[in-house]
Homo-oligomer: A and B are copies of this chain.
Amino acid sequence: MPLFGALEAGGTKMVCAVGDEQGNILERISLPTRTPEETVPDMLDFYRGKNLAAMGIGCFGPVDLDRSSPTYGSILATPKLSWRNYPIVQRFEEALGLPVGFDTDVNAAALGEAVWGCTQAVENSIYITVGTGVGVGVIIGGKPYHGMSHPEAGHIFIDRHPDDPMEQGICPYHPNCLEGLASGPSIERRWGKKAQELSDRPEVWALEAFYVAQAVCNYMLTLAPERIILGGGVMHQEQMLPLVREEVRRQLGGYLQGRAIDDLESYIVPISLHDNQGVMGAVKLAMNALPA
């Protein structure tokens, strides 16, 4: 059975794995993300000599996914300056001599869940991660969706709560985008403590659910997904998922109808792949990169 290299390239850590075509993860290491010069050789060492058929990379963004572009496969205007314009696909292709499948980290995670996880049964789904940043992977017709580029739906504008003690979001680009108001760092800025230390403060999670639910409603109204997965560090707070469902129902105000709305517990769900969804999606990207 062929083996595939899988990389979940994140701003904090690089998860390197080897998987098979059933999505089994056979080996997995995690390396801190330093500069490309420091980090990439260690990653390549991990994949070498493993007789891989192809490589898949789910990468922090923005990235260039346009195959007709001269910078296809590069990381674009990231705040992590040493990675800006880094041609990650080309580097792996050349160093390993393998075909490389490529997408955003969130599209890869959404794909992992769609192929082997809780969105297997549906054609159209989204995966939202709320953590250091907020990202949204979009699956349409069973495949990661790209339009003009990949979606950047973590930055949609939402309505600031009038009682929010923070006067505007922390995103350097937008005063009231989702990431700026609801990411882990925005929680820390607002309340002066890390999210993990605020578990017993109900007002923290009521406000957080207000923001996440607004975004969920807007994705429902725009993309009409058949199922929505909520993941990321902030969602490790157990109180969040029920609060988000409750707020979604309240904010929609009876407008949308149907089975999904009647059964939000089956519609808005947690990740099912134990934080392996990213590397498993990267395995699938590798499989898709094989010549037909």
Chain A contacts to B: CB under 8 angstroms: 62, 76-77, 123-124, 136, 138, 140-141, 145-153, 155-160, 173-174, 176, 214, 217-226, 251-258, 260
Contact = CB atoms under 8 A, between A and B. Distances in A.
A257 B76 contact: yes
A152 B153 CA distance: 17
B224 A222 contact: no
B146 A224 contact: yes
Contact of A223 (B76, B77, B222): B222
A224 B152 contact: yes
A204 B176 CA distance: 23
B152 A256 contact: yes
Given A224-B147, A224-B148, A157 B258 contact: no
A148 B218 contact: no
A122 B135 CA distance: 25
Nearest to A176: B159
B225 A151 contact: no
Contacts of A258: 148-149
A255 B221 contact: no
A217 B157 contact: yes
A147 B225 contact: yes
A253 B157 CA distance: 12
Nearest to A226: B148
Contact of A218 (B146, B157, B257): B157
A155 B214 CA distance: 12
A265 to B, nearest CB: 16
A209 to B, nearest CB: 15
A124 B157 CA distance: 22
Nearest to A159: B159
17 contacts: A123-B147, A124-B147, A140-B140, A140-B147, A147-B223, A147-B224, A147-B225, A148-B224, A148-B225, A148-B260, A149-B224, A151-B223, A152-B224, A157-B214, A159-B176, A173-B255, A174-B253
Contact of A221 (B155, B160, B251): B155
A236 to B, nearest CB: 25
Given A140-B140, A158-B157, A160-B159, A221 B147 contact: no
A171 to B, nearest CB: 8
A140 B145 contact: yes
A254 B79 CA distance: 13
A176 to B, nearest CB: 6
A153 B221 contact: yes
Contact of A173 (B136, B155, B176, B253): B253
B225 A222 contact: no
